[in-house]
């Protein structure tokens, strides 16, 4: 049951009944304070304007028209015409009884859409670095949530496996064809890449040779292709190591790298030319985008083929768009990259729509995120200024968590400490990223992400173990509870309302690809639970059986919601820590 949607429907009907035009605004929000009720409907003011009547009169009429018998215990007009909605406590309790009996916690699936999610997408040859952490973690939470809601999700790891960096590697490699070099090249690709990059930047003529190699590679030269495949395989193995440490759902079959679109690129350019969209400019094929002209009126320039014949990142993205919309049948295409690519995707959408590379009904959504910063506020680097390697970062997270857990002295065996540290360390890194609004830059800090207080993974994981320990103490199986929920204390009611709003958080993430909304929800839930637990004794002597059982039921539902929510974010829970 989605209480928000349910109320919204009721108010929309009521609006129609008091003479509102079709599509009249129906703003419904959560109340900010308990004395304002649980939800607030704010549609009276706008309608009053439309109808030329007094807002409070309209509010009264809406209250008379809305059918909420047995659902709302009180509807009152406040201020200029707000309608405060107080839900019936018994009705709220009954909603939770239903949720408690349902493995999906009362959450229905949505009509299934096909959603392509392009995330992680590292550039191969270089090892994955922190820049790819955000897209991988956020993207993975988004796909889990979409799948939970019943959608067909197609993961696309659009790996950068076809660009200049491979030309560099091939050129460097061909210069040093002794076996030994070949071996080191393949065993320490990172180092080999670095050496090639130095030559690319500094050595006369090398860059041109590298570019020739790209053309050769893209033209299908079998010698080049063979070597390229070896480089790619090593790189993919590196990425997979990171994926497995991170416990993300990306599989090898989700890889659809840039190279996979190679054969489609000439067709993309010729279609653009035929439609008069692409024109020649200094030997290159470009699309001028008037919609994105600068202040002087100069159109944005979108290059789809270089003067030497090479194709670009943009050409590949047009091909990917077409494939996803027409062949994968996508209703939505979500692409997660850092915000610096926002303009690129805006341009790609404009060009792609004009050229008919995307069906009208496919929505194309670039989901940008900010940068990861160090504690100095500058892009996150190692102490020596190098880029931070992901695999090492994750190992450090687990080490730090392990030290923290061991210091807590919670009676765990060494084996248990290491298992807990794994989940807490990785969970902390992921959650720190997920919990921030993705559009802002985010400051990486070990201390804050590993804190047991505040909006962190350890705090939520710990809240979950607290509930588990209640059940252990009570000697009760949480799954076997059948008690009806009774809501008497204000803390019980507040917890219940929060529990009922899980679906609202999930739907928002489903729509906006913003996992921080779910994080915020879970954090509030854990906090509400702590207040409830302080105010409402469960196992204490003298607590009546039905009260005790109802409270256990609330605790069980809280645990299930925390577990489901964390799981949707890709974070493990623990029974003890
Ligand atoms: N490889 C790119 C990068 O690391 C991200 C690719 C995102 N997806 C896309 N379809 N362009 O910046």
Q: Which of 87, 121, 138 is the last residue of a domain?
A: 87
Residue 121 CB less than 6 A away from ligand 1: yes
Helix or strand or coil: residue 485? coil
Query: Do 48 and 81 meet the contact criterion of CB atoms below 8 Å apart?
Result: yes
**What separation in Å is there between the alpha carbon of 364 and the centre of ligand 1?**
15
Kind and range of the H or E run holding 373: strand 372-373
pLDDT given at position 374 = 86
Indicate whether residue 352 lines ligand 1 (CB < 6 A). Answer: no
CA-wise closest residue to 507 among 82, 5, 61: 5
The sign of the CA dihedral 236, 426, 559, 459 is negative
Cα separation, 256 vs 265, in Å, equals 15
Q: Are residues 160 and 124 in contact, defined by beta-carbon separation less than 8 angstroms? A: yes
Tens-binned pLDDT, residue by residue, of the chain (577 aa): 899 999 999 999 999 999 999 989 999 999 999 899 999 999 999 999 999 999 999 999 999 999 999 999 999 999 999 999 999 999 999 999 999 999 999 999 999 999 999 999 999 887 677 778 999 999 999 999 999 999 999 999 999 999 888 999 999 988 876 556 666 666 678 888 888 999 999 999 999 999 899 889 988 999 999 999 988 998 898 899 999 999 999 999 999 999 999 999 999 999 999 999 999 999 999 999 999 999 999 999 999 999 988 899 999 999 999 999 999 999 999 999 999 999 999 999 999 999 999 999 999 999 999 998 888 888 887 666 667 778 889 999 999 999 999 998 888 999 999 999 999 999 999 999 999 999 999 899 999 999 999 999 999 999 999 999 999 999 999 988 999 999 999 999 999 999 999 999 999 999 999 999 999 999 999 999 999 999 999 999 999 999 999 999 999 999 999 999 999 999 999 998 8
Ligand 1 centre to CA of 335 (Å) is 8
DSSP string, 232-251: HHHHHHHHHHHHHHHT----
433 lines ligand 1 (CB under 6 A): no
577 assigned to some structural domain: no
Residue 248's nearest CA partner among 113, 367, 138 is 138
Per-residue burial over 492-515, b = 16 or more CB atoms within 10 Å of its CB, e = otherwise: bbbbbbbbbbbbebbbbbbeebbb
What angle separates helix 179-187 from helix 189-202, to the nearest 10 degrees? 110
| Final residue in a domain of this structure, among 87, 114, 149 | 87
Residues 83 and 216 occupy one common structural domain: no
Q: Give me the pLDDT at residue 192, please.
A: 85
Tokens in use for 562?
A: 């925390």
Q: 362 alpha carbon to ligand 1 midpoint, in Å? A: 20
CATH number for the domain spanning 22: value is 3.30.1360.70
Give the Å distance between the CA of 560 and the centre of ligand 1. Answer: 36
For residue 350, tell me if it sits in a domain.
Answer: no
The H or E element containing residue 198 is helix 189-202
Q: Are residues 418 and 563 in the same domain?
A: yes
332 lies in some domain: no
Domain boundary, last residue among 254, 275, 303: 254
* C-beta separation of 448 from 377 below 8 A: no
Same domain for 430 and 546: yes
Residues 544 and 441 in one domain: yes
- What 3-state class would DSSP assign to 356? coil
Q: Report the interhelical angle of 515-535 vs 457-474 (nearest 10°).
A: 40
Query: Between β-strands 82-87 and 39-41, what pairing exists: parallel, antiparallel or unpaired?
Result: antiparallel
Q: Is the CB of 135 under 6 A from ligand 1?
A: no
What's the N-to-C CA distance of the chain in angstroms? 33
CA of residue 337 to ligand 1 center, whole Å: 6
Of ligand 1's listed atoms, the one at least distance from the Cα of 132 is 4
Establish whether residue 133 lines the binding site of ligand 1, counting it when its CB lies within 6 angstroms of any ligand atom.
Answer: no
Q: Burial of 360 by CB count in 10 Å (0-12 exposed, 13-18 middle, 19+ buried)?
A: exposed
Residue of 116, 119, 121 to test ligand 1 pocket, by largest number of atoms within 8 Å of CB: 121
Is 331 inside any structural domain?
Answer: no
Report the domain count for the chain.
3
Q: Is residue 12 part of a domain?
A: yes
The answer to the question of residue 132 being in a domain is no
Q: Are 343 and 291 in contact (CB under 8 A)?
A: no
435: domain CATH number is: 1.10.730.10
Regarding whether 77 and 173 lie in a shared domain, the answer is no
Q: How far apart are CA 11 and CA 211, in angstroms?
A: 63
Q: Is 298 inside a domain boundary? A: no
Q: What is the DSSP letter of 385?
A: S
Q: Is the dihedral of CA 58, 59, 62, 63 positive or negative?
A: negative
Cα–Cα distances (Å) from 104 to 4, 251, 560, in that order, read 18, 26, 9
Burial of 551 (0-12, 13-18, 19+ CB in 10 A): buried
Is residue 489 located within the same domain as residue 399?
yes
Pocket test for ligand 1, best of 341, 342, 344, 366 (most atoms within 8 A of CB): 341
pLDDT for the residue 108: 95
Neighbours of 72 (CB within 10 A): 22
From the CA of 159, give the closest atom in ligand 1: 1
Rounded to an integer, what distance in angstroms lies between the CA atom of residue 310 and that of residue 497? 58
> Six-digit token pair at 329?
């049948």
Looking at the fold, whether 79 and 202 belong to one and the same domain comes out as: no
- Picking from 365, 158, 122, the residue whose alpha carbon sits closest to that of residue 254 is 158
8 A C-beta contact, residue 309 and residue 215: yes
Shared domain check, 186 and 75: no
Residues 526 and 414 in one domain: yes
| pLDDT for 179 | 57
Give the Cα separation of 283 and 542 in Å (integer). 87
What's the 3-state SS for 507-574? HHHHHHCCHHHHHHHHHHHHHHHHHHHHHCCCCCCCCCHHHHHHHHHHHHHHHHHHHHHHHHCCCCCC
| Six token digits for residue 436 | 């921030």
Which pair of structure tokens corresponds to residue 297?
């009126």
CA–CA distance, 209 with 63 (Å, rounded to integer): 76
Which residues, 6 or more positions from 373, have their beta carbon under 8 angstroms from its beta carbon?
A: 379, 380, 441, 442, 443, 444
Which residue in 350, 282, 356 sits closest to 314, CA to CA? Answer: 350
**Of residues 90, 85, 74, the one with CA closest to residue 27:** 85
Angle at 147 between CA 146 and CA 148, to 5 degrees: 90
DSSP per residue over 257-303, as a string? -GGGGGGGHHHHHHHHHHTT-EEEETTEEEEEEGGG--TT-PPEEEE
499: containing domain: 390-568
Report the predicted TM-score, pTM, of the whole model to 2 decimal places.
Answer: 0.94
Same domain, 556 and 409: yes
The verdict on 168 and 61 lying in the same domain is no
**pLDDT at residue number 34:** 87
271 domain-assigned: no
Name residue 78's beta-bridge partners: 82
Please tell me whether residues 69 and 195 are part of one structural domain: no
C-alpha dihedral, 513 to 515 to 521 to 527, nearest 10°? -170
- For residue 160, the ligand 1 atom closest to its alpha carbon is 1
Structure tokens at 98: 């239903």
């Amino acid at each position: 049951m989605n209480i928000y949607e349910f109320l919204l429907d009721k108010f929309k009907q009521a609006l129609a009944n008091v003479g509102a035009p079709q599509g009249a605004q129906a703003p419904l929000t959560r109340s900010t304070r308990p004395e304002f009720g649980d939800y607030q409907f704010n549609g009276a003011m706008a309608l009053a304007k439309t109808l030329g009547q007094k807002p409070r009169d309209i509010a009264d009429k809406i209250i008379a028209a809305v059918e909420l018998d047995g659902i709302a215990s009180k509807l009152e007009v406040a201020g200029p015409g707000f309608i405060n909605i107080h839900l019936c406590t018994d009705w709220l309790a009954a909603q939770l009884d239903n949720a408690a009996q349902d493995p999906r916690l009362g959450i229905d699936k949505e009509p299934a859409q096909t959603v392509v999610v392009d995330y992680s997408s590292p550039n191969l040859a270089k090892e994955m670095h922190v820049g790819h952490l955000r897209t991988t973690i956020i993207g993975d939470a988004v796909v889990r949530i979409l799948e939970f809601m019943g959608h067909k999700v197609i993961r696309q790891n659009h790996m950068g496996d076809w660009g200049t960096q491979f030309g560099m590697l091939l050129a460097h490699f061909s210069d040093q064809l002794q076996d030994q070099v070949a071996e080191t090249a393949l065993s320490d690709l990172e180092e080999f890449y670095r050496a090639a990059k130095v030559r690319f930047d500094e050595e006369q003529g090398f860059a041109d040779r590298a570019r020739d190699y790209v053309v050769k590679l893209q033209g299908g030269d079998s010698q080049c292709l063979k070597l390229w495949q070896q480089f790619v395989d090593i790189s993919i193995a590196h990425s997979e190591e990171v994926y497995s440490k991170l416990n993300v759902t990306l599989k090898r079959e989700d890889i659809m790298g840039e190279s996979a679109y190679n054969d489609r690129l000439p067709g993309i350019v010729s279609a653009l030319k035929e439609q008069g969209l692409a024109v020649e400019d200094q030997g290159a094929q470009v699309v001028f985008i008037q919609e994105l002209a600068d202040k002087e009126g100069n159109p944005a320039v979108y290059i789809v083929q270089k003067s030497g014949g090479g194709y670009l990142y943009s050409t590949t993205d047009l091909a990917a768009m077409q494939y996803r919309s027409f062949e994968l049948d996508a209703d939505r295409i979500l692409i997660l990259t850092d915000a610096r690519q926002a303009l690129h995707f805006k341009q790609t959408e404009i060009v792609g729509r004009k050229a008919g590379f995307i069906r009208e009904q496919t929505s194309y959504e670039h989901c940008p995120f900010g940068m990861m910063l160090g504690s100095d506020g500058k892009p996150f680097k190692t102490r020596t200024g190098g880029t931070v390697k992901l695999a090492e970062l994750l190992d450090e997270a687990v080490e730090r968590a392990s030290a923290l857990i061991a210091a807590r002295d919670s009676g765990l065996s060494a084996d248990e400490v290491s298992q807990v540290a794994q989940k807490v360390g990785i969970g902390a890194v992921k959650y720190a990223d997920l919990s921030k609004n993705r559009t802002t830059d985010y400051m990486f800090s070990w201390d804050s992400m590993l804190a047991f207080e505040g909006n962190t993974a350890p705090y939520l994981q710990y809240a979950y173990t607290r509930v588990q320990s209640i059940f252990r103490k009570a000697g009760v199986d949480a799954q076997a509870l059948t008690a009806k929920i009774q809501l008497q204390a204000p803390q019980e009611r507040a917890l219940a309302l929060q529990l009922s709003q899980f679906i609202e958080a999930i739907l928002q993430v489903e729509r906006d690809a913003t996992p921080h909304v779910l994080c915020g929800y879970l954090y509030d839930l854990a906090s509400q639970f702590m207040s409830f637990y302080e105010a409402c004794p469960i196992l204490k002597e003298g607590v009546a059986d039905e009260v005790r059982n109802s409270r256990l039921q609330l605790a069980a539902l809280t645990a299930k919601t925390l577990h489901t929510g964390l799981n949707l974010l890709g974070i493990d829970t623990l029974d003890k820590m």
